[in-house]
């Protein structure tokens, strides 16, 4: 993934981070809880920009269910 796209994803993810932080503050009124939610958002951003979800889907992940959709690998 190229750098401008990573920056764009980061900028777009600022909105859900603010909304999530405000929602956590409204529910719990705890700065620690807000900090934890922001760290989770940062980890999500890192996983997206590093390609972790894409690699998991391409690999087959979760038991490798992709072979059921491929008639060439289906057992007869």
| Domain range list for the chain | 3-51
pTM of the model: 0.66
pLDDT of the residue at 20: 96
Helix orientation angle between 14-28 and 3-12, rounded to the nearest 10 degrees = 30
How far is residue 58 from each of residues 47, 52, 53, 55, measured CA to CA in Å? 15, 10, 9, 5
**11 or 63: which leads in pLDDT:** 11
Q: 13-57, pLDDT tens digit by residue?
A: 999 999 999 999 999 999 999 999 999 999 999 998 888 766 666
Q: What is the largest CA-CA distance in the chain?
A: 58
pLDDT of the residue at 62: 54
């Amino acid at each position: 993934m190229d750098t401008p796209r990573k920056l764009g994803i980061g900028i777009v993810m600022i909105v859900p981070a603010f909304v999530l932080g405000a929602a956590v503050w409204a529910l719990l009124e705890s700065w620690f809880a807000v900090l934890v939610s922001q760290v989770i958002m940062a980890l999500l951003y890192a996983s997206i920009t590093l390609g972790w979800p894409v690699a998991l889907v391409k690999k087959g992940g979760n038991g490798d269910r992709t072979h059921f959709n491929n008639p060439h690998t289906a057992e007869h």
